[in-house]
Every structure is written in structure tokens, then in C-alpha cells.
Amino acid sequence: MSYSFISPRDEKELKEEISAPGSFTMSGGTDLLVKIRMGKISPQKIVSTSKISTLHFIDENDDEIVIGSTITHAELLEYKPLREAFPVLFDAIYTIGSPQIRNRGTLVGNVMNASPAGDGLLALYLLDAKIEISNGDAVNIDEFVVSPGRTILPKGEYVKSIHIPKSKWDHHYFEKVGQRNSMTISIVSIGWLIKCGSEAIENLRIAFGSVAPTILRLKDVEKFSKGKKIDEKFVHVVSDMVKERVNPIDDVRGSAQYRKKLCSNLMYRMVEEGIKC
Amino acid sequence: MGTFTKKRDYSVIGKEIPRVDSLVKVKGKAKFVADFDMKDMLYGALVLSKRARGRVKKIDVSKASSLKGVRAILTYEDIPGENQIGEVVNDMPCLVPVGEEVRYYGDVISLVAADSLEIAKEAVKLVKVEYEDLEPVLTIEKALKNEVKIHPSGNILTSKKIRKGNVEKGFFESDFVIEDDFYAHYQEQAYLEPQGILSLYDNNYGITIYGSMQCPYYVQEMVPKVLGMSMHSVRVIQAETGGAFGGKEDVPSYVASQCALLTYHTKKPVLLVYSREVDIQTTSKRHPIKSHYKLGVTEDGKIKAVEITAHMDMGAYATLSPIVMYRSLVHAAGAYDIENVKVDIDGVYTNKVPCGAFRGFGSPQVLFAMESIVDEAAEKLRMDPMDIRLKNALRIGSRTSTDQLLTESVGAVKTIEHAMEISNYAELKKEMAAFNLENKFKKRGIGVSHIIYGISLGAAGQHLDAAGSLVQVHRDGSVNIHIGNTEMGQGAKTVIAMIASEALGQSIEKIRVDNPDTSYVQDSGPTVASRATVFSGNAVKKACEKIKARMEEYFSKTRNVSVEEIVFKNGAIKTVDNKHKILFDSLANECYNSNTKMVERGWFVSPKLRWNSETGLGEAYITYAYATQVVVAEVDMLTGKSQVIEAYTSHDVGKKLNPVGLVGQVQGGFVQGMGYGLFEEIKTTDGRITTDNFNTYIIPTISDIPQKLKIDFVEDAYSQGPFGAKGIGEPSLMPVPASIANAISNAVRKRVKRIPATAEYVFNIIEEVIK
């Protein structure tokens, strides 16, 4: 097992390097290096994006925040406007790995890893983020991610940035049920955003992780919730709907049956958190 | 109270001494086995069985041997000595021969040495092993049927029992009899540094082994057997050892045999370091134990009888199981004065990873079960869990479950009292009730446990229970100490240096405790069973006292003062009247100039124990440590996830030698026990371990540790211990899984009968409550 390691200085050079067969693009390497050690992939060449200054940026305007592809989790946690605009994303990123991993790993890497357990990814699904590709395309996150480890990113292209449209919400929630409190991969993860009308839900978005091949947004539950009041009866109904819609598998972290029941139970956090709408 | 403990002013003992080996380790200067590099050094790797059970039909090494850089590929035919090995029973092949069965996924079939680790790993892939598939035995139940025999002698290797009093009579005299089944799962030692050995031919034309290990003398016995050499040709030196927890008791003997075989054939230094995956797949774990407990109590909470049957899953080979079982047997009925005790325990073979030593050695599993059923009894009687324990606790004059009369150093009751005091127990119960009233989705519970722990090897290991030392004071006053027990992160070097400093009067900075080397000190038994402080400590104390006596004699003669007037302390010697004064270093020089002998040996032998293995009655251990613990756990009723919120723990240690070291041990023991109680889980598919790295085998991180962990020590001196001390290494872990399981049970109002009590397990028992 041997491979070459290249660290291009600009995007032009990057594009040339990654078009070669057997090349893998590396950002923080927190997923890639683990996969190499496990023998899951055998790269001939690793192309690091870390020295490309044009990919290292965070932009903010009235409509969106744009996150360049080499921005680490730790940098995002320190970027104050992010916490204000997207607290659910902040909460999700905060649960990723350990401080060491957050110092290396990037949000774009989390997207490219395309894990159904991706924590940052779940928040991006909730926030209707768009992925900007080097060929100029901008793709909705749920269309960009296809299945575990797979995206629609064409060979020879790379992700430039993530665009997250700003939106106002009254309540946000993210939780990762893991085997321990940190350095953990979710058995199930859940996130929601709620906007309240005068007496009822005006808008609700809800997503689950680790219960399907990709992060799962439950759009029919979202539609159903419109105009409903949040009370125990509502939570009970939604909790049943959730159970029918998630499709988890058995793995080393938990059984499918447990996961299903977890998703359903986690809806009661709305009651526990005392969310009134 | 023992003779050593009459109030006296110690200069080092009882003081907070920083670890003597901390700086090199913190700075990264300490060399561990994987750091070793030598000229012409080769790298070793293992070809492992990919079946839980099967017959080896053919081993084809041709492709692998033709790979460039491969220096040796060995099979059973290349073993010059004995292939059949084992620490207690010779039931394990060093390398599985053609025609024989592989008995677990991880049995070693072939060894590779190559110029680089990459080449060695590549060669391993090219060794082709053909098997005849055989039906594996993967559960205790299936093994007990004995339809498929894992070893020719059958699937139960050995059985042990206790017959004290008459349990039938005891149950008859009881007002309540309760019974239940319990299961405690595997636990992986999860030492930071995986198994590793470096072997080489030394300049005496024998083999020298450096390795990460607890028991150099085990290695020194096994390697010559496999190589067909005599023991004087094999020298074993312990390298820095990055954690062991029992996992480096017997296992390094096997790793060293593999490595030494490669050196024997290549005549080159060979480094064999296991990857984490190979380590978890192949090396010994804590035994899963299934048990059935039946307990009889009177209305006022007196335990009249306990009857226990237990089966332990030994895995494919016996390794240390028979002696682990001995400890399970003695600890099965817990820390109580019970008239009638009946215990039956079987060691059962399965086609899974061999189990062996792990901090606690077969006890936490049964202590968890005993403490659970005692809690059940308390609940039935509407008695406080502390009260039932206090009522049945051991005291001076009590008899243990093996009918051993306790005559000294029984701090059991004091630990119960202290635990209640430091936890503010009555107040804690009120707080918990208030919390539960306010919270619907989170519930808290208080869990209590009270344990006993036998110090050192006990009656079953008496033949190994001695330890030696070699102490040398140099001309400049600096001191070298050689012992036979190892530093593996527990702080042995520090406590030994402290004992030597106290006994010699030299300051601790001038004392160096060297890593054990089998060429200096006679076989001192294993570094296990919380025995190093007592055994090596006593051996060092004795040797130091001999040298000190000689220095005193010299001083007395040359200064014309009586020995009684001389005080040795902190590197200086003076007379009581301060007339004569000299530095220890200068006196050492004077002693050298007068040809005084400044090197001495110490030898400490276990007090003899009387034991009847037919009845399981007698003096099981030389003394016991006791502990009581209170924990508060919070259970998330929506997910089943539990969190330890606070913990209070009181330990009877005989005498505090190094308070900092003690606290470190108790903190570490707590966290390791908590991992076992909550989420450390070995999972298998067809006998193959699927949780073979730390991304799937989950151990606690700093975020799981309770914010509040209050530690207390009871000092009830043990007369045979150095300055009155007993051990702490294992007792620190023993109460933890039990107290956590009891706390969760208390929170969810349903008995936890299995550890680890994972979120999914607790979730499932909550569900049944709801139904």
C-alpha cells in the first residue's frame, strides 16, 4: 500500500490532479485516513485541498451563509454569525467526534462522506442547503447525496462550497443518541425546526439520521404538522407516523427495532422541552 | 491493629508523592516496544484462523514465501520444542497443525517475518489455509449439551464448589426466598498499548525478550519450552508497559513464543506488535458468566442462606480460567456473614475467544449478581439497601463464605458508614425523590454496593505467592532496586521507591526502581491480584532494612554511639543529640571504603493458607479489601440511556502508602467499571468479534465520567502488609458495575439482570414496565 500525496496551491492545479484515476480528494482526512487503514479504499494518489486559499472562506450576506470547502468544524463553531443564524447546525457540529477531529474535519467532508449518520449533514438537510460544485452547478443537498458514501459529484470535479439560505425559526432541536456522550456515531439522530403561527405550527421541518440509506427528511410529517397545535395528542400521532416511515437496519450499534422505537420516542422531546406552539 | 501501625512519624509513607516515572512518560521519552528499532530488525505478523471451528486440511505458504522481503514463514513443523502450551492446562497449540482443529476465529496457524510490516502483512494474505468446516459451539447452553466436543475431554473443563452449612435448612429458616438469573458479558481490557514483543539473540548466545507484560517469569517459562531451550538461555526484560489490566498476564507468553520462534529461525531481531484488531480478536477477555442466585432472608434482613450456580464461558482454551474460577467461587456470595452457602461453578469451553485475566479476575460478574439479589431482598423487605448490608456485613470474628475466620483488618462496616456519610445518604434519597417527582422523562436512582476482595493469589495460587528483591546502594548513595513485579501504569515503581526510601532513610530522588529482568531476581510470581505492594513491597523493605542495619552498625562503631541513638531520615543520618551528622551519600562512601556489603536480597513468602478444595472451605486469601459505593444514575426514559451523575466510594486499604496513587487507582477503577456496567460490549457474528476497534468497542471518554466522584479511604491496618497496607488495584473496580446496575434498577423500577446495561437493554426493560 503506497500512494503519492499532493497538495495543490490553486483550484486549477487541483482540478488537474483529481482527474487522474485512483486519486482521492482529501480535506481534513478524518474519514479518508480511517478508510485507508481499514483497507476499504486503496488510493494511488491523495490530493489535499488544505493549501488552496480560495476554498478557505466563510461569506455572509442577507440571504445566506456560504462555507468554503476547507473550513473546519472548529472554525465554524468559532464563527459567531453561524451560531446566530443556524443554531441547529452549530449544535450538530458540536457533537462531531472530539476536539481533535473537529480541528481537522470539515463540513464539506461531512457531506462528501455521505454517511446516513452524518451529524452536520442532518442539519444541512433541515436547512435546505445547496452544494456548489466546481463545474458551476448548485445542487440541493438531498439530491447531492445518493446513498451511503455516494454523491452525484462527477469525477474530476470538487465541491467549492455549501450555501445555506437564511430562514427564521422559533424552535430548533438536534440530538444524537449514541452509545456514549461524545466520540460517538449515532444510533439515531434527530433534528427539527419549528416556526409558530399565532396558535399553531406554521412550518415544521424534521429529519432523522441512521435510519435509512441517507438522512431522512419526513416531508409528509412536515405537511401534516402545518396548522396543528403542539400538545401530547399531536406528538402521539406524529410519533406513530415517524415509526412507519423510518427504515433502519440492524448493525453493531443497535437493532432496527430499537432504532424505530427510538425515533418514535424522540418525538416526545417536544413535550419534554416544553415546546408550545 | 497490626504491629506496624503504632503511631510513628513516617517521612515518606502516607505523603503525596508524584509518580517517579511520570516525567519521561508525559514528555514522550519513555520507549515502548513499538518504539524499538534495531539494525536488521524484522517485523512479525500472524496468520489467523478465519473459522470459529474447522479442521486445517492444508497450509500453502509457497506464494507468500516467494514475496520479496519475506524472511520466514513458520508453521507447527518449525517448532523445535513443545507446540502444546497453556498457563494452567496444555490445551492450546502455539501453531495449529494440519489435521487438527482450529477452535476459534483467531487461532494462530502460521507466523511471518519480513523486512517491513507492509511486506509481512502482504505475506499473511498470501498464505492459503484450507479448512474442513465444522459446526462451531457458540453458546454455553450448546456447550453443556456436549454433543459437539471442543476438546476430547468434553466441554466442561473443571468445576468448583463451596459447601458451607446446610442451605436447605437455611432456606427453611428464612421468611423470604428469592431467586433470579443474571448475566455478565465480556469486557475487553482496552489497554492503550497493544501486545508487543521484541526478541533477539544476545551476546551470551541466548535469546533476550523485551516486552509489554505483567509477568516476566511466565514468559521465561514458556518461551524455552516452545524453543526447546533451558531457562537460563532465555532472559526476559519488561519494557515500559502501557496498561495491562490482566490482559498482559499470560498473553505475552504466547506473543513472546511467536516472536522468539521467528528470531530462532531467522537469527535476527524481530518486532511483533499486534494491531488493535488482532489484539481484540485474539487475546483474552473478561469471562461472560451466567448465574442463578437463590437467597433466603429473615424478616429482619438477616441472610440465612445463598445458593449459587454459575457457568463461565472460557472460550476455546483454558488459559487462566481454572484460577479465575477459584476467585469467582470465593467471591460469589459477596461480602457477607452467611451461615449456609452453596456454590457450584463450571468452566465451559466454547468456540470463541479464550477468556482469562482482567482486573477483578472473575469477581465483578458474580459481585454484580450477588449485590443485585441482595438489593432485591431489601426491596422485598422494604428495607434500605444500606441497612441490609450493614446487618450482614463482615466484622472481626465473622466467617466468610468459605468459613475463614476474620481476625484483623476488617474495615467493611467502616466503609459502609463512611459511604453513607460522604454521600449524605439520607439527603441524597430525598433529592432523588424530588427529582423524580418533577421529571417525567428522566428518572434517577440510587445504587449501593458493598464488596469484599481477596488480596493476592490465595490458596489456589500459594505455590506462586512469594516475591524477591535485589537492592544495591552505590558509593554515591544512589540506589538501584530490582523487583520481580512490574510497573504497568498502576504506580508500582512509586510505591516501591517510597517503601525503600522509608526503610533505608535515603531520599526518594536517589532511588531508581528498574524494570524487572529475570536475570536479577528469582521468580516473584505474577503482577496480578493486587499483590505487588504487599509482596514486592515487603521484599524490598526487608532488603533495605538489612543494608540499613549494616550502615547503622558502621556508623555506631566509627562514631562510638549506640545504634538506638541513630536516626536515618530523608537522606541524612544523625544522632538524636545532633552531635554527629552525615549525609546518606557520604556514609555510603565510607561504608564502601571499609568494604561493607551494600547489596542485599529480600524474599517475602505468603503466610500459609489452609484450604479444602473438596468442600471449598478454608482460608481462601491472606487478607481482604472491602469497599462500599453509592452512585446516582439518571436514565433517559425515552432512549434507555443511563448516565452516572455522582458517585461516592469508600475503600479499606489497610494503610494509605501513597494517597495520590490510591486516588488514581480508584478513579481509573471507577471509570473502567463504569464502562463495563454501561456500554462496553463485545459483539460477535458466527464467533468472530465484530467490535474489534475503538470505533465499535465503546469505552468511556471524559464526557461520560460523573462530575462528582468522591473518594474515601478507611485505614484498618493489615499486620503482614508493608506498613499495614493491602492492595487497591482491583478492589477499585469491584463495586462499580453492581452499584450502577442497582442505581438503574432503582431508577426504572425494574431489575437490571445483565451487564453492560446498554441503552438498548435498559430501553427494553423499560418497555416491559410500560406494558
CB of B759 less than 8 A from some CB of A: yes
CB of A257 less than 8 A from some CB of B: no
Q: Does residue A253 belong to any structural domain of this protein?
A: yes
User: In DSSP terms, which residues pair with B184 in a beta bridge?
Assistant: B289, B755
- Candidates B275, B634, B638: best to mutate against A (most CBs of A within 10 A) is B638
How distant is the Cα of B110 from the closest Cα of chain A, in angstroms? Answer: 22
**Whether residues A230 and A132 fall in one domain:** no
**Whether residues A253 and A154 fall in one domain:** no
Backbone angles phi and psi of B448, in degrees to 5: -125, 145
pLDDT, one tens digit per residue, over B299-309 is 999 999 999 99
Does the pLDDT of residue B135 top 60, yes or no? yes
**Whether residues A236 and A188 fall in one domain:** yes
| B683–A180 CB contact, under 8 Å | no
Q: How far apart are CA B298 and CA A120, in angstroms?
A: 58
Torsion (CA) B716, B719, B724, B727 in degrees, nearest 10: -80
Does the pLDDT of residue B2 top 80, yes or no? no
How distant is the Cα of A165 from the closest Cα of chain B, in angstroms? Answer: 33
Average confidence (pLDDT) over B561-572: 95
Average confidence (pLDDT) over B173-194: 98
| B698–A272 CB contact, under 8 Å | no
Average confidence (pLDDT) over B558-583: 95
pLDDT, one tens digit per residue, over B421-439 is 999 999 999 999 999 999 9
| B695–A185 CB contact, under 8 Å | yes
ipTM for the complex shown? 0.96
How distant is the Cα of B703 from the closest Cα of chain A, in angstroms? Answer: 6
CB of B695 less than 8 A from some CB of A: yes
CB of A198 less than 8 A from some CB of B: no
What pTM did the predictor assign? 0.96
Give me chain B's average pLDDT, please: 96
Chain A residues touching B696 at Cβ < 8 A: 252-253
Provide the domain limits for residue A205.
171-272
Q: Does residue A82 belong to any structural domain of this protein?
A: yes
Average confidence (pLDDT) over A176-184: 96
Chain A residues touching B695 at Cβ < 8 A: 34, 185
Instruction: Compare CB distances from A177 to B639, B695, B764 and report the shortest one's residue.
Output: B639
**Whether residues A182 and A140 fall in one domain:** no
Determine the straight-line distance between the first and last CA of chain A, rounded to whole angstroms: 57
| Angle between helix B321-331 and helix B363-381 axes, rounded to 10 deg | 20
Q: B97-119 burial string, b = 16+ CB within 10 Å, else e?
A: beeebbbbbbbbbbbbbbbeeeb
Q: How far apart are CA B468 and CA B449, in angstroms?
A: 36
Instruction: Look at residues A118, A147, A165 and tell me which one is the last residue of a structural domain.
Output: A165
Q: Does residue A71 belong to any structural domain of this protein?
A: yes
CB of A269 less than 8 A from some CB of B: yes
Neighbour tally for B463: CB within 10 Å: 9
User: In DSSP terms, which residues pair with B198 in a beta bridge?
Assistant: B210, B271
Q: How far apart are CA A133 and CA A137, in angstroms?
A: 5
| B704–A180 CB contact, under 8 Å | yes
**Whether residues A257 and A178 fall in one domain:** yes
CA-wise closest residue to B164 among B515, B540, B635, B614: B614
Instruction: Compare CB distances from A180 to B679, B691, B696 and report the shortest one's residue.
Output: B679
Q: Which residues fall within 8 angstroms of residue B593, CB to CB, at 6 or more apart?
A: none
**Whether residues A150 and A216 fall in one domain:** no
- Residue where the block lists cell 539473540: B201
Does the pLDDT of residue B509 top 90, yes or no? yes
DSSP helix/strand/coil, B52: coil
- Residue where the block lists cell 449544535: A91
Chain A residues touching B120 at Cβ < 8 A: none
Instruction: Compare CB distances from B696 to A252, A268, A271 and report the shortest one's residue.
Output: A252
Chain A residues touching B680 at Cβ < 8 A: none
Does the pLDDT of residue B210 top 50, yes or no? yes
Does the pLDDT of residue A188 top 80, yes or no? yes
Chain A residues touching B757 at Cβ < 8 A: none
- Nearest chain B residue to A259, by CA: B760
pLDDT, one tens digit per residue, over B9-33 is 899 999 999 999 999 999 999 999 9
CB of B698 less than 8 A from some CB of A: yes
Where would I find the H helices in B176-234?
216-227
Cell numbers linked to B280: 481484540
How distant is the Cα of A273 from the closest Cα of chain B, in angstroms? Answer: 10
Q: Which residues fall within 8 angstroms of residue B573, CB to CB, at 6 or more apart?
A: B505, B551, B555, B566, B567, B581, B582, B583, B584, B587
pLDDT for the residue B8:
64
Determine the Cα angle at B290 with ends B287 and B295, to 5°: 130
| Angle between helix B216-227 and helix B251-266 axes, rounded to 10 deg | 40
- Candidates B442, B703, B760, B764: best to mutate against A (most CBs of A within 10 A) is B760
Q: How far apart are CA B284 and CA B124, in angstroms?
A: 22
Chain A residues touching B691 at Cβ < 8 A: 252
Peptide bond into A248 cis (omega under 30): no
- Candidates A253, A257, A269, A271: best to mutate against B (most CBs of B within 10 A) is A253
**Cβ atoms of residues A131 and A159 within 8 Å:** yes
DSSP helix/strand/coil, B99: coil
Domain containing residue A234: CATH number: 3.30.390.50
| B679–A268 CB contact, under 8 Å | no
B450 band by pLDDT with thresholds 50, 70 and 90 = very high
DSSP helix/strand/coil, B618: strand
pLDDT for the residue A1:
61
| B441–A183 CB contact, under 8 Å | no
B606 band by pLDDT with thresholds 50, 70 and 90 = confident
**Whether residues A197 and A212 fall in one domain:** yes
**Whether residues A95 and A191 fall in one domain:** no
Instruction: Compare CB distances from A265 to B639, B679, B695 and report the shortest one's residue.
Output: B639
**Cβ atoms of residues B516 and B482 within 8 Å:** yes
Instruction: Compare CB distances from B704 to A181, A269, A271 and report the shortest one's residue.
Output: A181
**Whether residues A154 and A236 fall in one domain:** no
Chain B residues touching A187 at Cβ < 8 A: 759-760
Q: Which residues fall within 8 angstroms of residue B106, CB to CB, at 6 or more apart?
A: B48, B49, B278, B281, B282, B353, B689
How distant is the Cα of B763 from the closest Cα of chain A, in angstroms? Answer: 8
pLDDT, one tens digit per residue, over B393-403 is 999 999 999 99
Does the pLDDT of residue B127 top 60, yes or no? yes
CB of A274 less than 8 A from some CB of B: no
CB of A221 less than 8 A from some CB of B: no
CB of B700 less than 8 A from some CB of A: yes
DSSP helix/strand/coil, B576: coil
**Whether residues A213 and A243 fall in one domain:** yes
Q: Does residue A136 belong to any structural domain of this protein?
A: yes
> What share of chain B has pLDDT > 70, as a percent?
99
Q: How far is CA A238 from CA A177, A229, A242, A243, in A?
A: 19, 12, 6, 9
The domains of chain B, with CATH numbers, are: 22-29+466-605 (3.30.365.10), 40-134+195-273 (3.90.1170.50), 289-459+611-770 (3.30.365.10)
**Cβ atoms of residues B15 and B730 within 8 Å:** no
Q: Does residue A234 belong to any structural domain of this protein?
A: yes
B539 band by pLDDT with thresholds 50, 70 and 90 = very high
- Nearest chain A residue to B674, by CA: A180
How distant is the Cα of A101 from the closest Cα of chain B, in angstroms? Answer: 13
**Cβ atoms of residues A180 and B679 within 8 Å:** yes
- Residue where the block lists cell 401534516: A224
| Angle between helix B492-504 and helix B532-559 axes, rounded to 10 deg | 20
**Whether residues A99 and A156 fall in one domain:** yes
pLDDT, one tens digit per residue, over A5-17 is 999 999 999 999 9
pLDDT, one tens digit per residue, over A93-110 is 999 999 999 999 999 999
| B639–A272 CB contact, under 8 Å | no
Average confidence (pLDDT) over B670-682: 98
- HSE-up of B526 (CA within 13 Å, CB side)? 28
Determine the straight-line distance between the first and last CA of chain B, rounded to whole angstroms: 55
Q: How far apart are CA A163 and CA A140, in angstroms?
A: 10
pLDDT, one tens digit per residue, over B232-282 is 999 999 999 999 999 999 999 999 999 999 999 999 999 999 999 999 999
Q: Does residue A277 belong to any structural domain of this protein?
A: no
Instruction: Compare CB distances from B639 to A183, A253, A262 and report the shortest one's residue.
Output: A262
Does the pLDDT of residue B771 top 60, yes or no? no
pLDDT for the residue B205:
83
Backbone angles phi and psi of A183, in degrees to 5: 50, 50
**Cβ atoms of residues B320 and B356 within 8 Å:** yes
Cell numbers linked to B763: 430501553
Per the structure, the count of domains in chain A is 3
| A185–B441 CB contact, under 8 Å | no
pLDDT, one tens digit per residue, over B689-746 is 999 999 999 999 999 999 999 999 999 999 999 999 999 999 999 999 999 999 999 9
Q: How far apart are CA B768 and CA B771, in angstroms?
A: 5
Cell numbers linked to A241: 407516523
Chain B residues touching A260 at Cβ < 8 A: none
How distant is the Cα of A61 from the closest Cα of chain B, in angstroms? Answer: 37
pLDDT for the residue B604:
97
**Cβ atoms of residues B650 and B718 within 8 Å:** no
| Angle between helix B659-678 and helix B363-381 axes, rounded to 10 deg | 80
Determine the Cα angle at B1 with ends B408 and B335, to 5°: 30
Instruction: Look at residues A165, A184, A207 and tell me which one is the last residue of a structural domain.
Output: A165
Instruction: Compare CB distances from A177 to B118, B641, B690 and report the shortest one's residue.
Output: B641
Q: How far apart are CA B303 and CA B468, in angstroms?
A: 43
pLDDT for the residue B768:
84
Domain containing residue A158: CATH number: 3.30.465.10
**Whether residues A8 and A39 fall in one domain:** yes
Instruction: Look at residues A124, A142, A165 and tell me which one is the last residue of a structural domain.
Output: A165
Q: Does residue A158 belong to any structural domain of this protein?
A: yes
Instruction: Compute the residue count for chain A.
Output: 277
- Nearest chain B residue to A182, by CA: B703
- Nearest chain A residue to B706, by CA: A181
Instruction: Compare CB distances from B760 to A180, A258, A271 and report the shortest one's residue.
Output: A258
B6 band by pLDDT with thresholds 50, 70 and 90 = very low
